[in-house]
Amino acid sequence: MSEHQHNNREHQVKEFSPQELQIAELAKRGATMEEIAQLREPVATTPVEAVRQLKIGNARFFSGRTLRAETSPLERRAQVVGQTPFAVVLGCSDSRVPVEIVFDQGPGHIFAIRVAGNVVAPSTLASIEYAIQHLKPHVLVVIGHEGCGAVHMAMTLTEEQIREQSEYVQLLLDRIGLGVRRLPRIRDGKARMREAVIAAVRQQVHHLMQNSVVKAAAEKEQIAVLGAYYELSSGAVDFLETEEDLCLEDTIRTPDGD
């Protein structure tokens, strides 16, 4: 081996974390996948820690200081046995909103569910229930985003135009529903769209909290249930965490305040 190759190999080894080196040593000795998986440290073990990790990850993303784009081969090996995501994120299918990238998290960290308009429907609820019951995450987030086409349709189409859509699109728009169609009058189009998306997120969080599995986990403080808004232009995520942030009343009052 040449001196250049030796130095390059040393440089590559130094890039591994202590945990990765432990995994490598176990693999050399023929360890089982179960033994390797036990070395993986959880990203978060409480709802507070889980929310903090999402916030820190997004801060890295919008500031352009992301840690890594993908998991190393050694880390992937530690995930063969099973998954232990610390977060469940219900996001939009929009190609501009890849949740793992937005929160700067690697494979195995986020149980991601993506559907147009980030709506709560039977299929998304089934995935969420499965995650809560079997994967034991610590936070559940519904994240809407700037310029959401599904929310824009629900807000601007008339009832007649909605009924002209296919039955599945109608179901989607109905799920987004009442909140976005009864917003107070806001002249600024961008501000109105932001409020519509946030109203839709609140509506979906409300639907989630009617589910017995989600409600029980939240009441036992096993999981935090939050809303969020992603701004495409900046890359920043604003979290809706408090009862006031998530309250439906503000989203459905009429322009006269009735």
Position 138 in a domain: yes
Position 151 in a domain: yes
Q: Are residues 133 and 17 in the same domain?
A: no
Q: Which helix (H) or strand (E) holds 169?
A: helix 167-176
Q: For residue 21, how far is the Cα from the chain centroid?
A: 30
Q: Are residues 102 and 61 in the same domain?
A: yes
Q: What is residue 11's predicted lDDT score, i.e. its pLDDT?
A: 43
Q: Are residues 169 and 238 in the same domain?
A: yes
Domain tally for the chain? 2
The predicted model scores a pTM of 0.78
CATH code of the domain containing 91: 3.40.1050.10
Side-by-side strand order, sheet with 139-145: 110-114, 87-91, 139-145, 224-230, 237-240
Position 37 in a domain: no
Q: Are residues 19 and 63 in the same domain?
A: no
Q: Are residues 162 and 63 in the same domain?
A: yes
Position 21 in a domain: yes
Q: Which of 45-49, 140-144, 246-250 has the highest mean pLDDT?
A: 140-144
Position 257 in a domain: no
Q: What is residue 25's predicted lDDT score, i.e. its pLDDT?
A: 63
Q: Are residues 92 and 134 in the same domain?
A: yes
CA distance 171 to 199: 18
Q: Are residues 127 and 20 in the same domain?
A: no
Strands 237-240 and 139-145: unpaired
- Boundaries of domain holding 16: 1-31
CA distance 123 to 143: 17
Q: Are residues 20 and 108 in the same domain?
A: no
Contact residues for 66 (Cβ-Cβ < 8 A; gap 6+) = 60, 101, 104
Q: Are residues 165 and 197 in the same domain?
A: yes
Q: Are residues 2 and 127 in the same domain?
A: no
pLDDT tens, position by position, 154-202: 988 888 999 999 999 999 999 898 767 777 777 777 888 999 999 999 9
| Mean pLDDT, range 33-42, rounded to an integer | 55
Position 36 in a domain: no
pLDDT tens, position by position, 103-141: 999 888 999 999 999 999 999 999 999 999 999 999 999
Position 258 in a domain: no
CA distance 164 to 170: 8
Q: Are residues 112 and 67 in the same domain?
A: yes
pLDDT tens, position by position, 45-54: 899 999 999 9
Residues 113 and 140 sit within 8 Å (Cβ to Cβ): no
Q: Are residues 147 and 211 in the same domain?
A: yes
